[in-house]
Every structure is written in structure tokens, then in C-alpha cells.
Amino acid sequence: MPVPTTQGLNWSMEETGDLVALWDGVEVQCQFEQGGCSNAHVYKVLSDKCGHNQLVWQCLIEVKALQASWVTITVHNCAHKSMPFMQQLMDVLALRYEGCGCIVYSSTGGLPKPLP
């Protein structure tokens, strides 16, 4: 069995899309909200439902990497950049950053996107 590292494996677009679709689900979002500090059970659910034989730690690393990329592009106003699944990630993450005092920028221009 491979030893978990801090670096994830390369995920295919299909695998990443399936993970983001699961992550965007209401059930998973509710579990994240109720999980408090430890969300290990949520990553277990993502791993089980993803259907691509991804281990729990691989799902955790991929989710964290997607979140970091999204934050770099939207919160830090790198509006000239984009990434796959940008709109789905906006749906998942924008509400988390709404109350933190951050301005979430649109990836299609330099002006800030109004928060809901």
C-alpha cells in the first residue's frame, strides 16, 4: 500500500468532474457544515461515491488543491486566469468566502463580482 504524501496523483478531467459534482451536492455540503473541525467522514463519502478507486486522502488532497486554485483566481483577483469546473467551484465555494470580508472576483474580467 502506498504511503500518503502531501501531493495528489494526477486526476483525469472525468474524475475531477465527478468529484466536483459530488462536492457540490447538498448532502455533502451539509455534512461539511456539521463536521466542525474534522471532515474525515465527508472525504470518506466522496471517496466511496466517486467511483474511481480514489483513496480518502487522495480526495482530500484534490479538494484542497481545487479550493486553493479557486481562491488564487477569484479571491486574489487573478481574473486573467481560469480553470476547469470554475462555475461549479464558484457554486461550492463562493458562499464560504462571502462572510470572510473577501471580495470574490469574476474570472472573466477585472471587476469584482457582486456577492449575493
d(CA 107, CA 88): 13
Nearby residues of 79 by Cβ (< 8 Å), 6 or more positions away? 73, 105, 106, 107, 108, 109, 110
Q: How far apart are CA 8 and CA 15, in angstroms?
A: 13
pTM of the model: 0.69
Residue pLDDT tens, the chain, 116 long: 444 444 456 888 999 999 998 888 878 877 777 766 678 888 888 888 887 878 888 988 998 899 888 888 887 766 667 788 888 888 888 766 665 555 454 444 433 444 44
Q: Where are the domains of the chain?
A: 13-98
